[in-house]
Amino acid sequence: MRASFVFSEVVTGLRRNVTMTVAMILTTAISLGLLGGGLLVITTIDQMKQLYYDRVEVAVFLTEDISANDPRCTGNTCADLRAELEAASGVESVVYESREEAFQRFQQIFEAQPELRELARPEALPASFRVQLTNPERFEVIAQEFSGRPGVDRIADQGAYLEELFQTLTGLRNATFAVALVQALAALLLISNAIQVSAFTRRTEVGIMRLVGASRWYTQLPFLIEAIVAGVVGGLLAVAGLVTAKVAFIDRVLAGVFEAGIVPRIGYADIAFVSPILLLVGAGIATVTGYVTLRLYVRT
């Protein structure tokens, strides 16, 4: 009897304030969708770090005389430098890349941009050692030890470029979370207003129930459940929005990037991982907001 009454009151409240309920659900869905997007960006950054830091190299570019006159790195200067690099602490492997090999790799990388391939010449690309480190953070040690050595033109760290990329992605994540926070605040205000309006429209029947002995918690429970239902539905819409965005936008626009392995593909498993978080956050926000509103502003 009591359960059926509470259920009927929840349905009545949602139907009676349908426009505010829809606005509350949509605002919650947008906020949770942005939160989910930010969590997916974090997952992508973590996967990219694991992917790229395993491949990150230090490029030791050689001077013009070695690049032009020692294509096989058999001269004393080049061979000695290679031996010292291989013996250095923290170096996992050393691969020599001649000027011609660098030019061929350049042609492969920019295969889709023929205008750049036509402008490039082998003479513009130096020979280099591609040094794989056991710990990318040891770049400074290698740079200090080998900078200025005979045959060394300059030393470049691929990890520095990756850090710039990850900082950009982190900024995107922070911006997403900031917008989500604003939307969450709007959702909180809408939930609070919806509960107050719902309680005001049903003040007569609630007052009668209190007169016949119903507890305050029993009369307020339908309003709290209304807020929780709105939060959960908003969470479900947010999950549906993430799936739709993946299928209709991300998979199509970034198809080439995914296939090239530049950015890890966002899978359904990633969305499934963040979905319970969104549902719990939606229900939690609605529960706390509803409880506080009922205690502070609604006297029923």
Average pLDDT of the residues in 261-273 = 84
Query: 110-141 pLDDT, tens per residue?
Result: 676 666 667 677 788 899 998 888 877 677 88
CA angle 25, 176, 231 (to 5 degrees): 20
CA distance 248 to 234: 20
Average pLDDT of the residues in 176-192 = 83
- Among the listed ranges 29-38, 42-51, 143-152, which one has the minimum average pLDDT value? 42-51
Contact 138, 79 (CB under 8 A): no
Task: Read off the tokens for 60.
Answer: 């030791």
What is the structure's pLDDT at 262? 67
DSSP element (H, E) containing 192: helix 158-201
Question: Radius of gyration over alpha carbons of the chain, in Å?
Answer: 31
The overall average pLDDT reported for the chain is: 80
- For the stretch 46-49, contacts whose Cβ atoms lie closer than 8 Å and that sit 24 or more positions apart, written own/partner, are 47/264, 48/165, 48/166, 48/169, 48/263, 48/264, 49/162, 49/166
Mark 240-277 as b/e (b = at least 16 C-beta within 10 Å): ebbeebbeeebeeeeeeeeeeeeebbbeeebbeebbee
CA distance 254 to 266: 10
Task: Read off the tokens for 146.
Answer: 């080998």
What predicted TM-score, i.e. pTM, was given to this entire model?
Answer: 0.66
Contact 133, 5 (CB under 8 A): no
Contact 106, 97 (CB under 8 A): no
pLDDT range class, residue 257, cuts 50, 70, 90: low
Kindly tell me if the per-residue pLDDT of 99 is higher than 80: yes
Contacts of 278 (CB under 8 A, 6+ apart): 32, 33, 35, 36, 235, 238, 239
Bridge partners for 258 per DSSP: none
Kindly tell me if the per-residue pLDDT of 1 is higher than 60: no
CA distance 257 to 263: 6
Domains of the chain with bracketed CATH = 2-52+163-296 (no CATH), 64-150 (3.30.70.3040)
Average pLDDT of the residues in 244-249 = 90
Kindly tell me if the per-residue pLDDT of 195 is higher than 60: yes
Q: For residue 299, how far is the Cα from the chain centroid?
A: 43
Kindly tell me if the per-residue pLDDT of 160 is higher than 50: yes
| The amino acid at 225 | I
